[in-house]
Amino acid sequence: MVRCFIGILIPEELKKPIRNIQDRFKNLPMSCKLVESTNLHVSLSFLGEIEENKIEEVKRNLDLICNEFRKFKVTISGLKTIPSKSHIRVLALEVSDKEKNLEEISKKIKEKIEGDVKPPHLTLARVKNISNKQKVLEELEKMEKVELGDFLISSIQLIKSELRQTGPVYLTLHESRLRD
């Protein structure tokens, strides 16, 4: 069994501004696990533990999906709380595009590959405990309108996630290219 997800790796030039946002979380009255810079990605579908003989099928279906779309730009902006402000488990950034290509790709992944498909987002931290919720919400509100910029999506990755004591280690198993 292989623990996998489908996502989009983040370009290096966006990692520093993302790290700056994550650094601001360290001063808040909460404990959280920050996503390491090397693991930053746009989440499309968490597949969980899949049998190794199913990986080739996932690769083929991801290739078919990506072949339907041309490369496109997405915007990373807007801090969001998942699942809600009243119950914060994850801090993430919104990822969107004007043509809604990312949403369409997510729908097709849900149809052809399945997995736990959520609206596209970039996870920054997993929240463990909040000691002063009001203070955290006030500070997060100041970060809600953050704009990090755009980047071109030219491929989508099937990524293996190995859980280790030091944290997850990601390995790209397959990269499906979008059309020019």
- Phi, psi values for residue 96, rounded to 5°: -145, 160
Contact 157, 175 (CB under 8 A): yes
Which entry of 41, 108, 160, 174 is annotated as an active-site residue? 41
Contact 137, 91 (CB under 8 A): no
Q: Do you know the residue count of the chain?
A: 180
Contacts of residue 118, defined as CB under 8 A and 6 or more positions apart, other chains included, come to: 43, 45, 46, 82
**Residue 41 annotated as catalytic:** yes
C-alpha gyration radius of the chain: 17
Contacts of residue 22, defined as CB under 8 A and 6 or more positions apart, other chains included, come to: 34, 35, 124, 125
Which entry of 121, 125, 157, 170 is annotated as an active-site residue? 121
Name the residue among 28, 10, 7 with its Cα closest to residue 19.
10
Contact 134, 41 (CB under 8 A): no
**Residue 121 annotated as catalytic:** yes
Query: Scanning the structure block, which residue is given the tokens 């030219």?
Result: 154
Residues with a catalytic annotation lie at 41, 121
